[in-house]
Chain A
Amino acid sequence: MKLDLLTSLYVFMLAGFIGFEVIRRVSPLLHTPLMSLTNALDAIAVVGAILLVGEHKSTLSTVLGTIAIVAATGNLVGGFLITDRMLKMFRASGPKKP
Chain B
Amino acid sequence: MIGTEQIIEITYLVATALFILSLKWLSSPSTARHGVRAGELGMLLAVGGTLLHHDIVDYKWIAIGLVLGTIIGVPLGKVQMTAVPQRTALSHAFGALCVTLVGTAEFYLRAPDVPRFMMAVLSMEVILGSLTFTGSLMAAGKLQEILPQRPITYRGQNIVNLSLLAIAVGVAAYLVLHPGQTEYFPAVVGIPLVFGVLMIIPIGGADMPTVISLLNSYAGLSAAAMGFVLDSKLLIIAGALDGASGFILSVNMSKAMNRSFSNVLFGAFGQEQAAGAAVQQAQPVRSATAEEAAAILAAANKVVIVPGYGMAVAQAQHKVRELYDALTKRGVDVKFGIHPVAGRMPGHMNVLLAEADIPYDKLLDMEEINGDFPQTDVALVIGANDVTNPAARNDASSPIYGMPILDVDKARTVMVIKRSMSPGFAGIDNPLYYLDKTLMLFGDAKSFVGALVRELAGGQS
Q: Which residues of A contact B (CB under 8 A)?
A: 1, 4-5, 8, 11-12, 15-16, 18-20, 22-58, 60-62, 64-94, 97-98
| Chain B contacts for A35, CB-based, 8 A | 88, 212-213, 216, 245-246, 249, 345-347
With a CB–CB cut-off of 8 A, which chain B residues contact A45? 95, 98-99, 102, 223, 226, 235, 238-239
Q: Given the complex, which residues of B lie within 8 Å of A27, measured CB to CB?
A: 27-29
What separation, in Å, do the CA atoms of A62 and B61 have in the docked complex?
8
State the CA gap A20–B217 with chains docked (Å): 12
Q: In the complex, A83 Cα to B245 Cα: how many Å?
A: 15
Assess the B69–A29 pair: CB atoms within 8 A.
no
Residue of A12, A31, A33, A50 near B249 (CB, 8 A) is A31
A28 touches B97 (CB 8 A): no
A-B pairs, top 3 by smallest CB distance, nearest first, are A73-B69, A81-B77, A77-B73
Given contacts A40-B39, A45-B98, A49-B101, 19 further A-B contacts (CB under 8 A): A16-B244, A20-B248, A34-B23, A34-B346, A35-B216, A37-B35, A39-B216, A41-B42, A41-B242, A47-B235, A48-B230, A53-B58, A54-B57, A71-B101, A80-B39, A81-B77, A86-B354, A87-B36, A91-B354
B:132-190 near A, CB below 8 Å: none
Contact A92 B236 (CB under 8 A): no
Contacts A15-B241, A48-B230, A98-B361 given; does A34 touch B94 at CB 8 Å: no
Bound-state CA distance A53–B249 (Å) is 34
User: How many of chain B's residues have a CB under 8 angstroms from any CB in A?
Assistant: 112
Candidates B47, B117, B345; contact of A50 at CB < 8 Å: B47
* Majority SS at the chain B contact face: helix
- Within the assembled complex, what's the spacing in Å between the Cα atoms of A27 and B33? 14
27 contacts between A and B (CB under 8 A): A5-B117, A8-B233, A18-B241, A29-B365, A32-B88, A36-B84, A41-B19, A41-B22, A41-B241, A45-B223, A45-B239, A48-B226, A50-B50, A51-B55, A56-B58, A58-B109, A61-B106, A61-B108, A61-B109, A66-B61, A71-B101, A73-B66, A78-B73, A80-B77, A85-B78, A86-B84, A87-B29
Closest chain A residue to B347, Cβ basis: A31
Alpha-carbon gap, A65 to B100, bound state (A): 10
Smallest CB separation, B91 vs chain A (Å)? 5
Q: Smallest CB-CB separation from A32: which chain B residue?
A: B347
Say yes or no: A47 contacts B28, CB within 8 Å: no
Cβ-defined partner of B97 (8 Å) among A38, A62, A66, A67: A67
* Cβ distance A3 to chain B, nearest Cβ, rounded Å: 12
For B68, B81, B98, B220, the residue with the greatest tally of chain A CB atoms inside 10 Å of its CB is B98
* Chain A CB within 8 A of B115 CB: yes
Contact status A86-B81, CB under 8 Å: yes
Verify A79–B91 contact, CB threshold 8 A: yes
Q: Are A93 and B361 in contact (CB under 8 A)?
A: yes
A36-B91, A73-B65, A81-B77 known; A25+B102 contact, CB < 8 A: no
State the main secondary structure of chain A at its contact with B.
helix
Among B102, B231, B365, the one with the most A-chain Cβ atoms within 10 Å of its Cβ is B102
Chain A residues, CB < 8 A from B268: none
* Chain A neighbourhood of B99, CB < 8 A: 45, 68
CB pair B98–A26 under 8 Å, yes or no, is no
Nearest Cβ in chain A — how far from B14, in angstroms?
13
B286 at the interface (CB under 8 A from A): no
Kindly provide the distance from the CB of B231 to the nearest chain A CB, expressed in whole angstroms.
6
A68 and B102 within 8 A (CB): yes
Task: State the CA gap A57–B360 with chains docked (Å).
Answer: 52
B33 A50 Cβ-Cβ under 8 A: no
Q: Is the CB of A32 within 8 A of B350?
A: yes
Evaluate contact between B57 and A23: CB separation under 8 angstroms: no
**A51 → B minimal CB distance (Å):** 6
Residue on B nearest A19 in the bound complex, by CB? B244
Per-residue A-contact encoding for B347-388, CB less than 8 Å = 1, 0 else: 110110011010111110100000000000000000000000
List chain B residues, Cβ under 8 A from A20.
244, 248
- If A31-B249, A37-B26 touch, whether A74 touches B76 (CB-CB below 8 Å) is yes
CB contact under 8 A between A29 and B242, given known A51-B53, A61-B105, A66-B65 = no
